[in-house]
Amino acid sequence: MKKKHKILIVEDETIIAMELSHRLTRIGYDVVAAVTSGKEAIKETVELLPDLILMDIHINGSLDGIETARIINSAQDIPIIYLTAFSDDKTLERAKLTEPYGFLIKPFEERELETTIEVALYKRTVGLRQRENELWLDATLKNINDGIITTDIDGEINFTNNAAIEILSASREDVLGQTVKNVFRVLDYESKNELENPVLMLMGSSPEEIKNKEMILQRLDSSSIIIEATTSVIKNEYGAISGAVLVFRDISVKKNADELLRKSEERYRAVVEQSTDGIILFEIDTMKVIKSNLAYQKISCYSEEELLHLTAFDLMINNGNKNGDSFNKAVKFRNTSIGEKKARRKDGSFIDVEVTISLISYLDREVICVIVRDISEKKKIEKIIRESEQTYRTLFESMTQGIIYQDKEGNIISANPAAFRILGLSMDGMISQLSIDPKWRNIHKSNNEFKGEEHPSITALRTGQKVTDVHIKIFSPKEKVHKWILLDVIPEFREGDSEPYRIFTTFSDITEQKNLLDELEKSQESLKEINATKDKFFSIVAHDLKAPFQGLLGFSNILAENTDDLTNEEVKRISTNIHKATKSLYQLIDHLLNWSRLQANRMECVLEKLLLHEVVIFAINIVSPNAMGKSVTIENTVSEDVSVQTDERMLSSICENLLSNAIKFSQRGGIITISSKFVDDFAEVCVRDNGVGINKDDMDKLFKIEYSHTSKGTEGEAGTGLGLILCHEMVNKLGGKIWVESEIGKGSSFYFTLPKA
C-alpha cells in the first residue's frame, strides 16, 4: 500500500484552504492540518512533522509566508511549495532565497497541483539519498587515518581532510587555496633527491594513477616524515581531467620499526605491511550493522550484504570484558574509546585489531562508528621486540662486566648487578647519583684524584666522543678496599641530535691483574737493580782480585829471576809479602763464595737454639792473634743465659767479621766490647770499639754491594770490602737487622738483632 504523504496547508482564506484540503485528500494525500498564520504554521510543523508544506505567501499576522518558511527551514528540512496570486519580481526574489521546491500561481488546476507536489516529494527523496551518501563520505573522510587532498586542474588545493592537516603539520588555512607544489614537497625515499610533485606529474601525462609510492614528505614545520602516497586524476562527465586526488599516510613508525628490528635482531626479518582502516557503523539500540566499507569487508571476509545481518557482538570480542562494554561506554559517556580487541572473521578465526569507537551523526540520527585497524603484524613485531628485550635483559643481568647508563646530566639511571658488585654499592646508593660524587674517590692511574671535568663520563658527555681504556681506582664501601677498574664510555645520540642524550659505560674489575702487573713491574725493577749491582760488583771484584795477583806475580817474578843474587833477608821479606798477598786473596775469594751462595740461596741455614755467649767466645778465640798483635783488649759482656734462634756458622761468621773489622780500625791498646740486650722478641748485639770512627758519607755505603767500600786499618791492614756486606746478607737471612753508629775519632758501634729462642 502506497504511503500517504502528510501535508500541512498554510492559507488565511478559509474557503481556499478547505477546497485545497479536499483536493489533496481526493488525490491521496493526508492533510494533517490547515492554519492561517505563520506562528501556527511553525507550531504545527514541530508537532506534526509534515512531509510537505503548501505555504501562501500573503497570510495573516506579523509573519508572511516567506519569513515563516525561512524560520521553518532554519530548524527542519521540509520541502515548501509557495501559493501566491501575485508574481511580482521583488516577491519572487525574496521567495527564492528560502529555496522552495515549487511555485503555484492562483488559480491552479488540480493536475498542476498534483504534479508540483509529486516533483517536490521526489526531489526531497533524491536529496535525502544524496545527503546520506554525503554523510557516509563525510564520516569516512573525517575518521579515516589516511590524508586526502584534492586539487583542480591547475594543482590548486580545494579540499583536505583532518588527517592530511595533521600529517602535513599545518593548519587548514595554510593548505586550502595553495598550489600542491608548495604544500606537498617530497623527496625520493631511497636517493633522498627531490621529486616532481606527483599531482603535477599526472596532469597531461598518460598514466592516470601513481599507487603506493614511498617518499619523504617535507612538512610545513620544516620536519620530515616517511609517507606512502597514491595519486589519481579526477575526470569530469566528459572524460576530461578536472583535477587530482592525493591519498597518503604516515609510515614513519613502520619504517622505524623495520630499522629497529634489523639492528637488534638481524636473524629476524620483520615486514610490517601497511593496512587500510576498516570503517563500520552500528545502530545504538540493536548494535546491528548499518554500513561498512570495502576495507572492513576485506578484514572480516564478509560481504557487505552478509554484514547487514550481523551485530557488533558477532564481530567483536572484548578481551575478558562483557560484550558491549566499550560500546556502552561510548554511548553513555559520549566519548571516543580506543583499544585493542579480537575481531571474528567469517571463517571463525580471530585477528588482533585496534578499534576506535565514537558516536557520529548519520542520516539525522546518532550511530556508533567503529574504525578498525589490523594490528596482527604489530603484535608480531611487539613479540619479537619483547623477545629481543628479554635477550638483552638476560645478557645485561648475567654479564660479569659492569654496565652503567647515565643521562645527559651525568646522573646514573640504570646499572646491572655486576656494577653493584664491583663498585660495592647498593642500587639506592648508585641510582640518580653522579659518577663524579666525591664519595666514590675516583683516582687516576697516576694516583691523582679525578677532577669533575676530567672524569671519563663527563668528558664523553661534553665532547660527544668515545673514551676508552681508562684505568680508575675506586673505593668499595662494601669491601672497605680500593679497586682498579678498566672502563670504556660511549655516548649515545638521538637521530638528528649533535649532543648525546645519555652515555653507556662498561667496566671490568682489574684489581687482581693490576696487582700482578705491579708486582711484575717491581720484580723487573728489582731484577734490573740486582743486575746493575752485580755488574758493578763484578767490576769492583775484578779490580780487587787484580791487585793481589799483580803482587804475587811481581814478587814471584823477582824470586824466579834473581834467586842467586838475593840475600836470605831479601828472600824472607819477599816470601812474607807473597804470604800476605795470598792470604788476602784467599779471604777475598772465600767472601765471594759465601756471598754467591747467599745470593743463590745455596748456603744452608739451620736454625737452632744457641747460647749467644758461647758463640761470641768462639769468635773471639779466632781473632785473638790479630788483637794481641795490636795489644787490643776484647771484653765479652754478653750474659751467659741469652739464647737466640739462629744458624751457628752464620752467627760465628758475623761476630768474627765485626770483631776483625773493629780490631782493624782500633789504635794500639784499644778496647772492643761485645754486649747484648733484649728488645721485644729480639736479642740486640752491639760490637763497640774506640777506634778512628767512620765518615757519615761512608756509613751509607758499608752494607751495599755496589760500593764494596774498603779502607786500610790503623796500621795499614788491607780488607776485602765484603765482610760487612756478608754480615748484612747473613743477618737478613736470619731474620734480623744490622746498622752502625759512629763518630770520627771516638769509634764505631755495629748493632745487629736476632730472634729470641
CA–CA gap between residue 143 and residue 137 (Å, rounded): 10
CATH number at residue 522: 1.10.287.130
CA distances from 366 to 286, 338, 347, 619, 690 (A): 13, 19, 31, 125, 126
Report if residue 259 sits inside a domain.
Answer: no
- The answer on 161 and 113 residing in a single domain is no
Q: What is the DSSP string of 311-373?
A: BHHHHEE-TTSPTTHHHHHHHHH---EEEEEEEEPTTS-EEEEEEEEEEEEETTEEEEEEEEE
Report if residue 257 sits inside a domain.
Answer: no
- The answer on 201 and 161 residing in a single domain is yes
Higher pLDDT, 337 or 66: 66
- The answer on 609 and 740 residing in a single domain is yes
User: Residue 137's Cα: distance from chain center in Å?
Assistant: 47
Report pLDDT for 752.
Answer: 93
CATH number at residue 124: 3.40.50.2300
Supply 642's cell numbers.
741469652
Report pLDDT for 708.
Answer: 58
- The answer on 102 and 16 residing in a single domain is yes
User: Range with the lowest mean pLDDT among 2-11, 541-550, 702-711?
Assistant: 541-550
User: Range with the lowest mean pLDDT among 72-76, 80-84, 711-715?
Assistant: 711-715
CA–CA gap between residue 258 and residue 82 (Å, rounded): 66
Indicate whether 29 pLDDT > 60. Answer: yes
The amino acid present at 32, given as its one-letter code, is V
Report if residue 389 sits inside a domain.
Answer: no
- The answer on 449 and 565 residing in a single domain is no
User: Range with the lowest mean pLDDT among 94-103, 430-439, 620-629?
Assistant: 430-439
How does pLDDT run across 561-580, given as a tens digit for each residue?
A: 777 777 878 777 777 767 66
Q: Reduced to 3 states, what is the DSSP secondary structure of residue 8?
A: strand
CA–CA gap between residue 74 and residue 54 (Å, rounded): 17
15 exposed, middle or buried (CB, 10 Å; 0-12, 13-18, 19+)?
A: exposed
CA–CA gap between residue 248 and residue 149 (Å, rounded): 9
Supply 563's cell numbers.
834467586
Report pLDDT for 547.
Answer: 52
Average pLDDT for residues 407-424, to the nearest whole number? 82
Indicate whether 348 pLDDT > 90. Answer: no
Report if residue 709 sits inside a domain.
Answer: yes
CA–CA gap between residue 106 and residue 113 (Å, rounded): 10
- The answer on 578 and 609 residing in a single domain is no
Identify the domain boundary among 354, 382, 410.
Answer: 382
Q: Cell numbers 752464620 label which residue? A: 650
Angle between helices 252-264 and 376-398 in degrees, nearest 10: 40
Report pLDDT for 625.
Answer: 81
Residue ranges in 563-647 assigned as alpha helix (H): 568-599, 612-629
Report if residue 267 sits inside a domain.
Answer: no
Report if residue 64 sits inside a domain.
Answer: yes
Q: Please choose, from the candidates 429, 435, 425, the residue with its C-alpha nearest in 3D space to the C-alpha of residue 460.
A: 435
Average pLDDT for residues 96-124, to the nearest whole number? 83
Indicate whether 273 pLDDT > 50. Answer: no
Indicate whether 155 pLDDT > 70. Answer: yes
Indicate whether 366 pLDDT > 70. Answer: yes
Higher pLDDT, 418 or 564: 418
CA–CA gap between residue 24 and residue 128 (Å, rounded): 24
Higher pLDDT, 449 or 102: 102
CA–CA gap between residue 167 and residue 219 (Å, rounded): 8
- Cis peptide, bond prior to residue 207, ω within 30 of zero: no
Indicate whether 628 pLDDT > 50. Answer: yes
Report if residue 260 sits inside a domain.
Answer: no
Identify the domain boundary among 81, 114, 140.
Answer: 140
- The answer on 738 and 682 residing in a single domain is yes
pLDDT band of 675, cuts 50, 70, 90: very high
CATH number at residue 441: 3.30.450.20
Write phi, then psi, for 194 (nearest 5 degrees): -70, 140
- The answer on 751 and 615 residing in a single domain is yes
CATH number at residue 722: 3.30.565.10
- The answer on 619 and 724 residing in a single domain is yes
Indicate whether 694 pLDDT > 50. Answer: yes
Nearest 5°: the CA angle 422, 426, 432 is 105
Mean of per-residue pLDDT scores for the chain: 79
Identify the domain boundary among 89, 115, 140.
Answer: 140
CA distances from 603 to 107, 589, 595, 596, 648 (A): 153, 16, 9, 9, 13
- The answer on 302 and 230 residing in a single domain is no
Indicate whether 76 pLDDT > 60. Answer: yes
- In 44-98 the beta strands, taken as DSSP E runs, fall at 52-56, 80-84
Indicate whether 751 pLDDT > 90. Answer: yes
Q: Cell numbers 642500587 label which residue? A: 427
The amino acid present at 698, given as its one-letter code, is D
CA distances from 87 to 53, 82, 90, 92 (A): 19, 11, 8, 6
Write phi, then psi, for 10 (nearest 5 degrees): -120, 100
CA–CA gap between residue 368 and residue 355 (Å, rounded): 12
The backbone region for 49, taken as left when phi is positive above 0, alpha when psi lies in -120 to 50, beta otherwise, is: left
Which residues lie closer than 8 Å to 114 by C-beta, 6 or more apart? 27
Which residues lie closer than 8 Å to 603 by C-beta, 6 or more apart? 594, 597, 650, 733
Residue 17 forms beta bridges with which residues? none
Q: Cell numbers 653522579 label which residue? A: 434
pLDDT more than 90, % of the chain = 8
The answer to whether 377 touches 272, Cβ cutoff 8 Å, is yes
Owning domain of residue 717:
604-755
- The answer on 132 and 155 residing in a single domain is no
pLDDT band of 166, cuts 50, 70, 90: confident
pLDDT band of 739, cuts 50, 70, 90: very high
Report if residue 273 sits inside a domain.
Answer: no
Report pLDDT for 686.
Answer: 95
Q: Reduced to 3 states, what is the DSSP secondary structure of residue 141?
A: helix
Average pLDDT for residues 400-405, to the nearest whole number? 83
pLDDT more than 70, % of the chain = 82
Indicate whether 264 pLDDT > 80. Answer: no
- The answer on 550 and 626 residing in a single domain is no
CA distances from 228 to 37, 190, 224, 562, 641 (A): 61, 13, 13, 122, 107
- In 441-509 the beta strands, taken as DSSP E runs, fall at 467-476, 481-492, 502-509
Which value, to the nearest 10 degrees, does the dihedral of the CA atoms of residues 94, 97, 102, 107 take? -10
Based on the structure, what is the number of domains in the chain?
A: 6
